[in-house]
Structure 1
């Protein structure tokens, strides 16, 4: 196992131990939730939401606001653990992708989107997968 994989696993464990970090960061309104259900918005391996399809209306601003809140939370948590923000965010992304609901879209590689089926998400190497 590489050093990066060990760090990712340790950070993911930390995120789990913090009691629902992902759930706390995923507070979304109805429009964002509907966009996730329809496959317009999805989770990314970097810990942030992204667009699998072009957003309409106020959706982009709402997703941007969620991502800003996530970045603020990741920054605080990473600083307390003295780890890079990107590494902490990616560990949360790994955790989120691992528990993704069937039918939701996700991205493990920039710009490449898939829909979660019955099988587990094939996690990127940064997740120890």
Structure 2
């Protein structure tokens, strides 16, 4: 195929692959999420709307972070990436694919009052309705 006719193929998971990734994502997130929930600084930043879940599976800053919040989020995101990397192999997916599916699940699990990032990049506060998620989410 010539360069002018190259077509990028988007990853489109099959139902079975998607189910496997989603199931493994739930298990992989248990350890980093459990550790984060024990950290009072994480809980306070999340409750204050300073940080929230992003569609890519990582935590993001909904407001300008303090150095301490920045360090906390960077540490948690490093742990998430390690969990995604370890789990991606068992599902036959890439780290990015696994992280994306995890992001879908994490945004779906946000509670009222918590921040999350929409597919357009806007930060929203979760209310009683379902969050806005990427159309590719399972």
User: Structure 2-normalised TM-score?
Assistant: 0.79
Distance 1:115 1:79 in 2: 33
Q: What is the deviation of 1:14?
A: 3.4
Give the structure 2 partner of residue 114 of structure 1.
Answer: 124
The change in CA–CA distance for 1:92 and 1:24 in structure 2 (over 3 A counts) is same
Instruction: Give the paired residue count.
Output: 124
- The higher-RCO structure (CA 8 Å, 6+ apart) is 1
Distance 2:136 2:14 in 1: 6
Give the structure 2 partner of residue 23 of structure 1.
Answer: 30
Give the structure 1 partner of residue 80 of structure 2.
Answer: 70
Secondary structure at 1:121 match in 2: coil
Contact 1:9–1:127 under 8 Å retained in 2: no
Secondary structure at 2:53 match in 1: strand
1:66-105, CA deviations, whole angstroms, 9 ceiling, x for partnerless residues? Answer: 0001001100100222211011011111111111111000
Q: Unaligned 5+ residue runs, structure 2?
A: 1-10
Alignment of 1:28-47 (within 5 A): 28=36, 29-47=39-57
RMSD of Structure 2 on Structure 1 (CA): 2.0
Name the larger-Rg structure: 2
1:31-74, CA deviations, whole angstroms, 9 ceiling, x for partnerless residues? Answer: 12111101010011111000010011311011100000100110
Q: Unaligned 5+ residue runs, structure 1?
A: none
Contact 2:113–2:126 under 8 Å retained in 1: yes
Q: What is the deviation of 1:112?
A: 1.3
Distance 1:10 1:24 in 2: 18
